[in-house]
Amino acid sequence: MEKMPYRQELDTHVFQEPIAPIVSTDWQDGLPVLSGKMVTLRELRPSDAQSLFALLTTEEVSRFISPPPSTVEGFESFIAWTLRQRTAGKYVCFAVTLKRFDTAIGIFQLREAEPGFGTAEWGFAIGSAFWGTGVFQEGAELVLAFAFETLDVHRLEARAAVLNGRGNGALLKVGAVQEAMLRRSFRCNGEYLDQVLYVIIEDDWTASREVCRQIRAYVH
Ligand SMILES: CC(C)(COP(=O)(O)OP(=O)(O)OC[C@H]1O[C@@H](n2cnc3c(N)ncnc32)[C@H](O)[C@@H]1OP(=O)(O)O)[C@@H](O)C(=O)NCCC(=O)NCCS
């Protein structure tokens, strides 16, 4: 997801009654903590605003995503919005932290593209000091398991600007398949860029997990 669906200027704090009744599930009440060997994903907190502002507003991180909030207060509003959207069952955002450190160094977002999360879109941004360290890969694996097993996503989409080499490389290495070229679909710094539409289908993810499981069993 190149674009954070959050827009500060549209954040009116007005609570809207849902059109369809919301079926409450555990994740709508609060996100689980997802733990890997190196990375822990957890719910965002207001206190994450400072580190996310410092790490996600740099030129290299924000170059190919829609502009993140431009102040710490803007990130505080964004975090409050993520919690409201999660309660409404439309969107979730995990903070990325390193094991034994509580500082948020990035985010993974999941947004429903149809009611009920059958089709969803995901996006991610991590502070550049942590690029190429395995943080993305492990975080992505945790988020994919959450998407397919807990949210019951069956089709997970992502968009990456063609010029975003790391974004494309990251998606390919977690098994996303290039499905289409979205020509001139992303407005970035006053020009329209081409994006690639990447998709992971639940069946493909399940099959690749089984292959990994069998390889691990064979190696050990
Ligand atoms: C996207 C992001 C989270 C990925 O995290 P990361 O730590 O950089 O990802 P990784 O290093 O694990 O994977 C990137 C892969 O792309 C490869 N890559 C790097 N530059 C590349 C390029 N120009 N062209 C193709 N592949 C490239 C890397 O070699 C790596 O693959 P490898 O591990 O097999 O060598 C991070 O780069 C980021 O936050 N970017 C800014 C935000 C952003 O653009 N988000 C939207 C993405 S669609």
Using 50, 70 and 90 to split pLDDT, how confident is the model at 212?
A: confident
The ligand 1 atom nearest the CA atom of 125: 39
Q: Which two tokens stand for residue 42?
A: 């957890």
Residue closest by Cα to atom 29 of ligand 1: 169
User: What pLDDT shows up at residue 19?
Assistant: 44
Q: Which residues line ligand 1 (CB under 6 A)?
A: 2, 61, 64-65, 123-126, 131-132, 136-137, 158, 160, 164-170, 173
Q: Max alpha carbon distance in the chain (Å)?
A: 55
Is residue 13 scored above 60 in pLDDT?
A: no
CA atoms within 13 Å, Cβ hemisphere of 6: 26
N- to C-terminal Cα separation, the chain: 37
CA dist., res. 179 & res. 156, Å (int):
12
What pTM value is reported for the model?
0.91
Q: What secondary structure letter does DSSP report for 71?
A: S
Closest CA relative to residue 120, chosen from 90, 95, 94, 161: 90
Q: Which H or E element spans position 49?
A: helix 49-56
The C-alpha R_g of the chain, in whole angstroms, comes to 17
As a whole number, mean pLDDT of residues 208-212 equals: 83
- The angle at the Cα of 137, spanning 131 to 142, to the nearest 5 degrees, equals 130
User: What pLDDT shows up at residue 12?
Assistant: 54
Q: pLDDT tens digit string along 148-174?
A: 999 999 999 999 999 999 999 999 999
Residue closest by Cα to atom 24 of ligand 1: 165
How deeply is 164 buried, as exposed, middle or buried, from its count of CB atoms within 10 A (0-12, 13-18, 19+)? buried
Strand-pair partners of 18:
none
Ligand 1: centre distance to CA 104 (Å): 19
Residue closest by Cα to atom 25 of ligand 1: 165
The ligand 1 atom nearest the CA atom of 60: 41
Q: pLDDT tens digit string along 81-120?
A: 999 999 999 999 999 999 999 999 999 999 999 999 999 9
User: What pLDDT shows up at residue 219?
Assistant: 82
Ligand 1: centre distance to CA 98 (Å): 18
Ligand 1: centre distance to CA 171 (Å): 8
Closest CA relative to residue 39, chosen from 128, 108, 85, 91: 108
The ligand 1 atom nearest the CA atom of 106: 39
The ligand 1 atom nearest the CA atom of 133: 7
Q: Which H or E element spans position 125?
A: strand 119-126
Ligand 1: centre distance to CA 166 (Å): 3
Q: pLDDT tens digit string along 34-74?
A: 999 999 999 999 999 999 999 999 999 999 998 999 999 99
User: What pLDDT shows up at residue 214?
Assistant: 84
User: What pLDDT shows up at residue 22?
Assistant: 45
Is residue 193 scored above 50 in pLDDT?
A: yes
Residue closest by Cα to atom 13 of ligand 1: 170
Region at 109 (left for phi over 0; alpha for psi -120 to 50; beta for the rest) = beta
